[in-house]
Amino acid sequence: MSLDTGDTAFMLVATALVMIMTPGLAFFYGGLVSRKNVLTIMMQSYVSMGVTTILWVAVGYSLCFSGGAGGIIGNLDLMFLKGIGINELYPDLNIPVLLVVVYQMMFAVITPALITGAFANRITFKAYLIFLVAWQLLVYFPFVHMIWGGGMLSEWGALDFAGGIVVHALAGMAALASVLYVGKRNVQDSGAHNVPFVALGAALLWFGWFGFNAGSALDVGNDDVGSIAVLAFINTQIAAAFAATTWLFLAWHYDGKPSFVEMLIGMIAGLATITPAAGFVSPQSAMLIGVAAGVVCYFAVVLRKKYELDDALDVWGVHGVGGALGIVMLGVLASTKVNPEGADGLLISGSTGFFMTQVSALVLACIWAFAFTYGMLWGIDKVTPVRVAEETNLDEALHGESAYTE
């Protein structure tokens, strides 16, 4: 095989798009918290770009994509990217291995950053840094290997196109465990302090999500299966639009006014929900997934509020429930007529086999993420305090900086 310049260019652009999602998340979260805690939560996203990159090239890529066939984790044969030639092509693809390394790195960067919205205003920076590294090693890396690296769940036949389990369900369940461990905020935010920040962040996330989902095809297309990248691209747009509109009207009905912020949250829910299915379902199914995301995730947030779980920015309701819903709906709506490399879901085949595989993989991921997250926070608390002493001005208290001068 020889280098395909078109596929390589496509994946370079997709990688850059996924990279911009982390700053987008920082602005999205930053706008939602109070004005004196903006830099704290934004830095939790940005610092992952540094720490996770180091961790990924040191051991992460190797643990995820080297050895360990059928297992839970890989090996350390590719530590610090040793043995990977500059011009070496990825097996069965026409793009460089190093391009796959950096593309997958961007997924690793943003996934733990998603969790920070749940424990906003409550975690010390030192504890977060330890958590960032430990969570990658004990939760994220194993599931990347098990699903995308030839590990146990891939041998089961589980499918996850771009991270319904690997990114969103894991982050959502980690968020739930975090909230239960650290407890409620003493001082509740009064609402988004900067809606334009939220809108800017949402725009960057939506824009970047095309690289997240379409890029997960890893090529532009071929004669055997057509362009799965194009399919994933349009499904991403469709699901986000249907979910955002559904959420907007639900919030309008129950709250009395059409909220801009609520619509943007619905958009994120649609994007999270279509992520595992983007390359395996038809555009018509993506419409259904978008509506389902808007309804189910909206009422998940309502339920969370009813039981007074202080998931500050609704990571569980949006990402956790959205990712889980997408995995389940993939088990129902997947079609090999759409993607011959996928599977036929319950609606197409009439068989429960693939559907139950999806559900089993999801249950394992949820239990694993919750248990390990709660356990590691307990362990970190024995080393250094997890919870901050003062919640009202974390930017000054933790970082000696302020977002605003007045």
Domain 5-387 fold is: Ammonium transporter fold (1.10.3430)
Give the per-residue pLDDT at 405: 81
> What does the domain layout of the chain look like in residue ranges?
5-387
The 10s digit of each residue's pLDDT in 249-305 is 999 999 999 999 999 999 999 999 999 999 999 999 999 999 999 999 999 999 999
> Can you tell me the mean pLDDT for 43-60?
98
Arithmetic mean of pLDDT over the chain: 96
Task: Give the pLDDT confidence score for residue 225 in this predicted structure.
Answer: 65
Report which residue type is found at 318: V
Mean pLDDT of the region 371-397:
93
Mean pLDDT of the region 87-107: 96
Give pLDDT tens digits for 151-194.
999 999 999 999 999 999 999 999 999 999 999 998 887 789 99
pLDDT, mean of residues 80-93: 94
The pLDDT of residue 223 is: 65
- Give residue 36's pLDDT: 92
Q: What is the pTM of this model?
A: 0.97
Q: Kindly indicate the confidence band of residue 85, based on its pLDDT and cuts at 50, 70 and 90.
A: very high
Tell me, what's the pLDDT at 221? 85
Work out the burial of residue 183: count CB atoms within 10 Å of its CB; fewer than 13 is exposed, 13-18 middle, 19 or more buried. exposed
Tell me what pLDDT residue 280 has.
98
pLDDT, one tens digit per residue, over 338-349 is 999 999 999 999
Tell me the pLDDT band of 395, cut-offs 50, 70 and 90. very high
